[in-house]
Amino acid sequence: MNDIISQLRLILAINYHMYYKAHSSHWNVEGINFLQYHEFFGDIYEALFESIDSTAEYMRALGAKAPATLMDICDLLPDDSATEEDSVTTMLQRLSDANALMILHLRMGIDTAGRISEYALQNYFQDRLAYHQKIGWQISASLK
C-alpha cells in the first residue's frame, strides 16, 4: 500500500506544480497571440485545479493524509527555473516537460493500482492520463 500512497503523493505534487505553472503562464504570457495563450493556459490550470481535490481524496480513502504544506509538495519536485519573463515558447516547453513527468507517473500509478486491485483508483489514473495525453499533443502542436 505504501507504493500507491507514494505514487499519489507524487502525482498530487506534479499536479500542483503544473497547476501553478499554467496559472503563472496565464498571468504572464505576452505577445501577438496573447489572448489565445492566455485562454489556453487558463483552460489547463482550471482543469488541473479540479483534479487536485480528487487526488487528495483518494489518498484519504486509502488511509493516508495529503501533504499539509506547499513545502511538503515542493520537496517532491525537481527544481524549477521558470521566471515571469519566460517567452511563450519557454512557458509551453516547461509545461510540456511537467506534463511528460505526469504522464510517466500516471502510467506507473495505473500499474501499481492494478497490482493491488485498487480498480477505482486505476480508472481515475486512466482518466487523468487521457487528459494529460490530450494536452500533451496540444502543447506539442503549439510548439511547432
Provide the whole-model pTM.
0.93
Question: Which DSSP string do the residues of the chain spell out, in sequence order?
Answer: -HHHHHHHHHHHHHHHHHHHHHHHHHHH--STTHHHHHHHHHHHHHHHHHHHHHHHHHHHHTT-----SHHHHHTTS------TT--HHHHHHHHHHHHHHHHHHHHHHHHHHHHTT-HHHHHHHHHHHHHHHHHHHHHHHHT-
* Structure confidence at residue 84 (pLDDT): 82
For residue range 72-125, list pLDDT tens digits in order.
888 887 777 777 888 999 999 999 999 999 999 999 999 999 999 999 999 999
Residue 11 belongs to a domain with what CATH number?
1.20.1260.10
Find the mean pLDDT for residues 55-65: 95
* Structure confidence at residue 81 (pLDDT): 77
Binned at pLDDT 50, 70 and 90, residue 69 comes out as confident
Domain that holds residue 9: 2-142
Number of domains present in the structure of the chain? 1
* Structure confidence at residue 28 (pLDDT): 95
For residue range 14-46, list pLDDT tens digits in order.
999 999 999 999 999 999 999 999 999 999 999
* Structure confidence at residue 100 (pLDDT): 97
